[in-house]
Amino acid sequence: MFPRLGVNIDHVATLRQARGEEYPSVVDAANVVLNSGADQITIHLREDRRHIQDTDVETIRLVTKKFGRPLNLEMGSAQQIIDVAIATAPDWICLVPENRQELTTEGGLNLNDGNVFDKVQDTFKKLKAGIPQVKISLFLEADANVISKACQIAPDAVEIHTGTYTRLFQNGDNYGHHIDRFHDAVKKLRGHSIACHAGHGITAENIIPLLESKLFEEYNIGHWIICQALYEGMGNVIKRFKEQFNKYPL
């Protein structure tokens, strides 16, 4: 078994929204991604609709159904977004924190905050009731207390926020303690039969130590793939990632 590659195509929509045009097409992007061997499509429907729109969720869902691959919908806990999720019934939902002022997701859900914990748990229950077959992951830091709180909710998976690790890697700083934290988090989660995913800031270079650690069953990668596609083409970038993944069986 090899790690799975989820490709986040939000920033194809970012380019489209920048000019208010009909192009580039997220449907075309989804087709290219899945034709090139990616294991799933990931999109984030934000409350402010800065990139992915409600209709995109519907059309991309049709593409993933055509290929028989999962759609992973990242989302916050706003009721309007919950309604869209229930209406489109993605295969996976990843619950993430959402701050309207942030450029991108800045960290994991702070389940140590009682209000956040209650809101996440309530959203989790609504989604499971509305889409009985859906699998739900929580986007979290590799913090021992947060991981323990997550186990109380019992999601299908936890996606570990790798942003701090990737910045240390990029700057040439020591990142070994983050790998250790990932190991501890994964051990705890697997003890509760919770799958372990990873995402944020991942590139073809900084993913190597993560692949070598054999910790994560799935990686969700977006921004770097879309950026590198300017030079190599999206299909080529995805194929390169899949070749890397195939060198590191779990």
Query: Domain of 139: which CATH number?
Result: 3.20.20.70
| 3-state secondary structure (DSSP) of residue 175 | coil
57 occurs within a structural domain: yes
pTM for this predicted structure? 0.96
* Domains in the chain, number: 1
Q: Check residue 101 and give its pLDDT.
A: 59
Residue 175 placed within a domain = yes
Cα–Cα distance measured from residue 54 to residue 84, given in angstroms and rounded to the nearest whole number: 7
In a domain, 45, yes or no: yes
Q: Cα torsion at 248, 241, 7, 37 (round to 10°)?
A: -90
**179: exposed, middle or buried (Cβ count in 10 Å: 0-12, 13-18, 19+):** middle
3-state helix, strand, coil in the chain (%, to 5): 50, 15, 35
Per-residue pLDDT reduced to its tens digit, 68-111 = 999 999 999 999 999 999 999 999 999 999 875 555 556 899 99
Predicted pLDDT at 107: 84
* Bridge partners (DSSP) listed for residue 43: 73
209 alpha-carbon distance from chain centroid: 19
pLDDT of residue 106: 67
Handedness of CA 98, 101, 103, 109 (dihedral sign): negative
Q: Say what the pLDDT of residue 98 is.
A: 80
Active site residues: 44, 74, 200
Residue 250 located in a structural domain: no
Boundaries of domain holding 68: 4-245
**70 domain-assigned:** yes
| pLDDT tens over the chain, length 250 residues | 999 999 999 999 999 999 999 999 999 999 999 999 999 999 999 999 999 999 999 999 999 999 999 999 999 999 999 999 999 999 999 999 987 555 555 689 999 999 999 999 999 999 999 999 999 999 999 999 999 999 999 999 999 999 999 999 999 999 999 999 999 999 999 999 999 999 999 999 999 999 999 999 999 999 999 999 999 999 999 999 999 999 999 9
Q: Is the peptide bond before 24 cis (omega within 30 degrees of 0)?
A: yes
Question: In whole angstroms, how far apart are CA 158 and each of 19, 72, 142?
Answer: 35, 13, 10
Cβ partners under 8 Å of residue 214, min gap 6: 248, 250
Note whether residue 190 is domain-resident: yes
Give the model's pLDDT for residue 100. 59
DSSP 98: -
Residue 97 lies in a domain: yes
In this structure, how many other beta carbons lie within 10 angstroms of the beta carbon of residue 103?
A: 7
Count of C-beta atoms within a 10 Å radius of residue 96: 23
